[in-house]
Chain A
Amino acid sequence: MAGITLLVLLIGLASIFWQLARARAVQFRRAVRFGSLPAQHGWTVALWAVLPALALLVVWQIAAPALVTDAVLRTPAAADLPPPGFARATLLSQARALATGHGAESVEPLSRRLAPAYAAATRRSHWIATVAVLALAIGAGAAALARVRAGTPARTRVERLVTALLFAASLVAILTTAGILFSLVWESGRFFATVPAQRFLFGTHWSPQSIVDDAPGDVLGALPLFWGTFFIGAVIAMAVAVPLGLLSAIYLSQYAAGSTRRLLKPALEVLAGVPTVVYGYFGALTVAPAVRRLGMALGMADASSESAMAAGLVMGVMILPFVSSIADDSLIAVPVELGEASLALGATTSETVRQVLLPAALPGVAGGVLLAISRAVGETMIVVMVASAVATLSVNPFASATTVTRQIIDLLTGEATFDSPKTLAAFALGLTLFVVTLALNIAALALVRRHRVRGG
């Protein structure tokens, strides 16, 4: 990879500059006794040599593909290309693959003719980048080297540079959030240009397999998905996780002896650390068939082996440690005096728990449940492996059900192209999921915070 060679070269350059600057700084005596050290001069110059060059390299890496394509389009062979669109993109990407040596077996002749142009343009781009980056590194480094003098506040400078780097690292979080928002909103925007939003949000028919090009909205009504997600994640899973999680938290925080607690807490953590694909496998293998048999036994002929019940049960077990640990935290956060006061009045432990501790911990627990719902709603692998691909609107827990996350996976794992309504629908589903989980998280945080304000 050319990039790696360049990086190694840059590091080499930086260390040369470091040595030069240090050697220069050693020659003069420090102006003040606690002034900058020669090594700090070294670091300042080395960073000046590397950072602008790296920035240029990154910019180039991002801009290069477009520039290369531009150059290729200016070659005579490109005159035969179809107008911008899917066909053109395919031809170009085939040519690119050929040029980089990942030749596919069936290649259009036009792509074959374009490939040399691609290779040449890429090579040229590499050379320009290498020369420009190295020149910038040497130039900036030399300029910094010339400024190494007795009084230069090298320590302050190098500290400021490194602090700037640390700041840049903390910007990654903002950029990620922005990236998520932008990509979801952008792709969803393109989706809603073809399918009206109310059609998508409130339509009741979902079968992307039978999509028709001129009216994609007819089969992309996501209401059954929202219902399935809500039913599995917020109803069935919570019906399992909340009572059990609460009970185990009460047991852990009020009744369990220290040694039991020390044993059970890690066990819950282990349960929380098991990857969801394992739960999914477990669910598909044992829970789903059992639930189906149960449904049959209850006289439901249409009991599905991909039922909402099975997915919800497994999800409930998955989320249980999370609920339990949050409830445990809220119970422990209740001031000790409160419980002691109740016990001092002669109340039994269970009375104290029921009448004093639980009401006091309730907002925290409720916040925890909201967070748990947000997790369950966004959980993917369990529903991919246990729930159904078929969207139905049914309140029967033994009938098949599907969820938003499951559909995102299904929509995006065909050999669909980037611009098809199916792909875009996945992003629209993603946006809905993002908004819902965000709202749940904010609500949960607000609840917990209010709880804390009142408690403290």
Chain B
Amino acid sequence: MIVALACLIYLLVTIAVQGVGGFVRTTIALPIDMATASRGPGPSGPAMAGFVDAAAVRAYGPGGARLISDGAWMAVRDTLRADPTLARRRFVIHVPASTAIDMAYKHGGTPAADAMIARLRPHLGSELNTGFLTGADATDPTRAGIAGALEGSLLTMAVTLLLAVPTGVAAAVYLEEFAPRNRWTDLIEVSINNLAAIPSIIFGLLGLALFLGALGLPRSAPLVGGLTLALMTLPMIVIAARGAIRGVAPSVREAAMGIGASPLQVVFHHVMPLALPGVLTGAIIGTARALGETAPLLLIGMRAFIAGSPGSLTRPATALPVQIFLWSDQVDRGFVEKTSAAIIVLLAALLLLNGVAVVWRARVERRA
């Protein structure tokens, strides 16, 4: 017991300590002299990047370009866009620092690194890393964000919920209220119970063989991910919904039947409203599990490196847990805190879901 709690606390603390760093980025002051630029750098990436690197070299000596993030030029570009009057002036801008500086500034490191930080300290600062929540995956940890993965997860969950909840509830209603006792319903029951206990990776294999292989749907797409996870969550929702429906007092059914409500009216006017809290809880728990699920998504290819937002159900995407997995594999030290920060976001989302379930349920129960 204590061990379990200790593990939980240790896990959360480790991740929290590391993850907080992921939301903060180190900046470095960079003087930009647009006046000395013989001609203003074009809007194109490489030209601007070269220009900014040159500025860093001018400010901090030969190794200067390694002090700033690969994405520093974007900060400069955005500043110039926001304030065109700067285009002829000399100004100082705080750009994201490179991973090495970021890490050394936050955690210290080798004596050499510490010495460098000490030298640069007046020029360094920290700011909230907005890019982490708004950007997509990138090769440079200082630029990597989770928005793309988050969007992928949202699209996938939308498909999952839209399919699994109606189907699951309908199946539960049928099995509890209408199904005759015979071999067919026994078979359905056995399949549902077995499906609920099958490892998720098997669903990944099914998704691969069925949706990608047989039906030829696009690889890596949230549509396929959602379909696969829907099949996985379906049995959970059916089981939870059946329990909730079974919990509705028979006297309510009799009362409705007694005044001539048809079987469907009995179910949809009387039983379902009362079973709703249980059904919702089941749906949310199912969603939470689907949201944290990784293995089936890896199998259907939702592990692509996607440096943008998917934007569509059929375009390649990745999902939050998969992003965590991908980042955890990166050698670059900067990704460690990104991974932890992404885990914080994932756990927060799960906590939010469960919180919503609890509150919702309490409210409906109070009304009942």
Using CB atoms and an 8 Å cutoff, list the residues of chain A in contact with chain B.
34, 62, 65, 155, 159, 162-163, 165-167, 169-174, 176-177, 179-180, 183-184, 186-187, 244, 247-248, 251-252, 264, 267-268, 270-271, 273-282, 284-286, 317, 320-321, 324, 371, 374-375, 377-381, 384-385, 405, 408-409, 412-413, 418, 426-427, 430, 433-434, 437-438, 441, 445
Contact = CB atoms under 8 A, between A and B. Distances in A.
B1 interface: yes
Identify which of A176, A278, A409, A441 gathers the most chain B CB atoms within 10 Å of its CB: A278
B292 A264 contact: no
Nearest to A412: B299
Interface string B332-365: 0000100110010011001000100000000000
B295 A409 contact: yes
Contact of B15 (A282, A384, A441): A282
B121 to A, nearest CB: 29
Contact of A320 (B4, B179, B192, B260): B4
B328 A275 contact: no
Interface in B288-315: 288-289, 291-295, 298-299, 303
Contacts of B199: 374-375, 377-380, 405, 433, 437
B343 A281 contact: yes
Interface in B158-214: 166-168, 170-171, 173-175, 178-179, 187-188, 191-195, 197-203, 205-206, 208-210, 213-214
B249 interface: no
A273 B350 contact: yes
A374 B1 contact: no
B209 A176 contact: no
B112 interface: no
Interface string B1-38: 10111011001001100000000000000000000000
Interface stretch (B94-102, B124-132, B231-239, B275-283): B231-239
Contact of A173 (B178, B203, B235): B235
Contact of B328 (A162, A274, A280, A377): A280
A373 to B, nearest CB: 12
A229 to B, nearest CB: 11
7 contacts: A176-B206, A184-B206, A247-B1, A273-B289, A378-B202, A381-B295, A430-B201
Given A183-B205, A277-B292, A408-B201, A270 B325 contact: no
A282 B11 contact: yes
Contacts of A270: 8
Contacts of A247: 1
Given A180-B206, A277-B324, A413 B14 contact: no
Given A176-B206, A251-B1, A277 B197 contact: no
Given A275-B321, A381-B295, A374 B346 contact: no
A433 B199 CA distance: 8
Identify which of B167, B209, B292, B339 gathers the most chain A CB atoms within 10 Å of its CB: B209
A279 B321 CA distance: 11
Contact of B11 (A174, A187, A274, A381): A274
B324 A159 contact: no
Contacts of A264: 1, 5
A320 B264 CA distance: 43
Nearest to A427: B205
A385 B202 contact: no
B247 to A, nearest CB: 18
Nearest to A320: B4
B1 A434 contact: no
Contacts of A273: 288-289, 292, 350, 354
B109 interface: no
A71 B54 CA distance: 59
A204 to B, nearest CB: 24
B231 to A, nearest CB: 5
Given A159-B262, A166-B174, A434 B231 contact: no
B198 A434 contact: yes
Tell me whether chain B's interface is mostly helix, strand or loop, or mixed: helix
Identify which of A155, A251, A281 gathers the most chain B CB atoms within 10 Å of its CB: A281
B213 A284 contact: no
A58 to B, nearest CB: 11
Identify which of A176, A179, A276, A375 gathers the most chain B CB atoms within 10 Å of its CB: A176
Contact of A430 (B166, B194, B205, B322): B205
Contacts of A381: 294-295, 321, 325
Contacts of A437: 197-199, 202
B195 A173 contact: yes
Contacts of A412: 208, 298-299
Contact of A165 (B170, B191, B213): B170
A173 B295 contact: no
A441 B194 contact: yes
B299 A409 contact: yes
A385 B325 contact: yes
Contacts of A184: 202, 205-206, 209
B216 interface: yes
Nearest to B327: A281
A379 B293 CA distance: 11
B346 A275 contact: yes
Given A248-B4, A441-B197, A170 B299 contact: no
Nearest to B324: A277
Identify which of B288, B291, B292, B294 gathers the most chain A CB atoms within 10 Å of its CB: B294
A277 B340 CA distance: 11
Contacts of A186: 209
Contacts of A169: 166-168, 170-171, 174
Given A378-B201, A409-B295, A437-B198, A176 B260 contact: no
Given A282-B14, A412-B299, A430-B205, A321 B194 contact: no
Contacts of A375: 199
A313 to B, nearest CB: 10
Given A177-B194, A179-B210, A278-B11, A324 B4 contact: yes
Nearest to A271: B8
B1 A65 contact: no
B263 interface: yes
A264 B6 CA distance: 12
Contacts of A278: 11, 15, 292, 324, 343, 346-347
